[in-house]
Amino acid sequence: MNKQELFAALESLGMRPGRGLGQNFLLDNNLLECIVRSAGVVRGMNILEVGPGFGALTSLMLDAGANVCAIEFDRRLAGYLRSTLGGRSNFHLVEGDACKVALDGLLPMPFHAVANLPYAVSSVFIARLLELPEPPASCFFMLQKEMAQRLAAVPGTGNYGALSVRAQLVYDLTLERVVPPEVFFPPPEVESALLRGTLKEQRPPREVRERTAKAAKVAFNQRRKKIVNSLGPLYGADNVRAALETMGLAADIRPERLTADQFIILAGELEKNNGAADAPEK
């Protein structure tokens, strides 16, 4: 979709792009094609797209033969999509809020997620994907650059935090490229980036992910503090010291030094020892 086509489509609906809904439409056809290629979209693939807008990305994925299920919140855009793409047998539109629509069972398995996400809801939506019993086999998202950096951050860097740990329990993540504001209309006030996520073959079960995410969240609440000080009040300082020792980690280690896998072990040790402390005496 070029600028003239977008303007004509906006005019036909008598609408202006809304900031609250993150309506920054992609204008660069080369970039759109690059997204479809890089996401590995092929015939028969099941794709979940959030925020199809005027269908610029959607129609390329449909042309590639993918089955696309797209969730669009804006009624006017949903109406536009029904009239332009509604006749295509591989297109399925869900009119609603991607933060609320039931995702489980929405698409046949396996499915993949490809989208130029509305930035305001990207963290909530990604959190929902991470919580699914069967998350998408891969994700390819346009995101606010800072969000992509946080998700893909490696230990020891300033962007690494609880969100990185939580996402990296489920996905191997890479920031593919930074995208300037000019390729969108209207241009967003921030830079964007393309993020690739590949589902890990070995994923911890849900309860392990939950307890690990909880420990990481508490540890990173005070990221400059040593782990023993941030986790001590919740799990007991002796318990934290013992867990770190079992793992061969320094007693004064800070959270940004631990990988997602180390957080899994740490949370498991903490729970094990907490459980032992809580157990009734025989």
Distance of alpha carbon 230 from the chain centroid: 27
Nearer to ligand SAM, 183 or 234 (CB): 183
Alpha-carbon distance of 85 to 242, in angstroms, equals: 59
Task: In angstroms, give the least distance from the CB of 153 to ligand SAM.
Answer: 23
Nearer to ligand SAM, 77 or 167 (CB): 77
Q: What angle do CA 6, 10, 11 make, to 5 degrees?
A: 115
Distance of alpha carbon 183 from the chain centroid: 22
Task: In angstroms, give the least distance from the CB of 10 to ligand SAM.
Answer: 12
Under the phi-then-psi rule, with left for phi > 0, alpha for psi from -120 to 50, and beta for the rest, what region is 55? Answer: left
Instruction: Give Rg (Cα) of the chain.
Output: 22
Under a CB-based contact definition with an 8 Å cutoff, are residues 147 and 122 in contact? Answer: yes
Task: In angstroms, give the least distance from the CB of 57 to ligand SAM.
Answer: 5
Task: In angstroms, give the least distance from the CB of 35 to ligand SAM.
Answer: 9
By CB under 6 A, name the binding residues for ligand SAM: 21-26, 50-53, 56-57, 71-74, 77, 97-99, 116, 118, 121
Residue 280 preceded by cis peptide, ω within 30 = no
Q: What are phi and psi of 272, to 5 degrees?
A: -60, -50
Task: In angstroms, give the least distance from the CB of 196 to ligand SAM.
Answer: 17
Task: In angstroms, give the least distance from the CB of 197 to ligand SAM.
Answer: 18
Nearer to ligand SAM, 95 or 172 (CB): 95
Nearer to ligand SAM, 13 or 99 (CB): 99
Task: In angstroms, give the least distance from the CB of 124 to ligand SAM.
Answer: 8
Alpha-carbon distance of 87 to 202, in angstroms, equals: 40
Across 63-86, b (16+ Cβ under 10 Å) vs e yields: ebebbbbbbbbbeebbebbeeebe
Across 110-147, b (16+ Cβ under 10 Å) vs e yields: ebbbbbbbbbebbbebbebbbbeeebbebbbbbbbbeb
Task: In angstroms, give the least distance from the CB of 269 to ligand SAM.
Answer: 39
Nearer to ligand SAM, 24 or 67 (CB): 24
Residue nearest to ligand SAM (CB): 51
Nearer to ligand SAM, 38 or 274 (CB): 38
Nearer to ligand SAM, 54 or 235 (CB): 54
Alpha-carbon distance of 119 to 136, in angstroms, equals: 19
Nearer to ligand SAM, 52 or 135 (CB): 52
Under a CB-based contact definition with an 8 Å cutoff, are residues 222 and 126 in contact? Answer: no
Q: Which residues pair with 197 in a beta bridge?
A: 139, 173
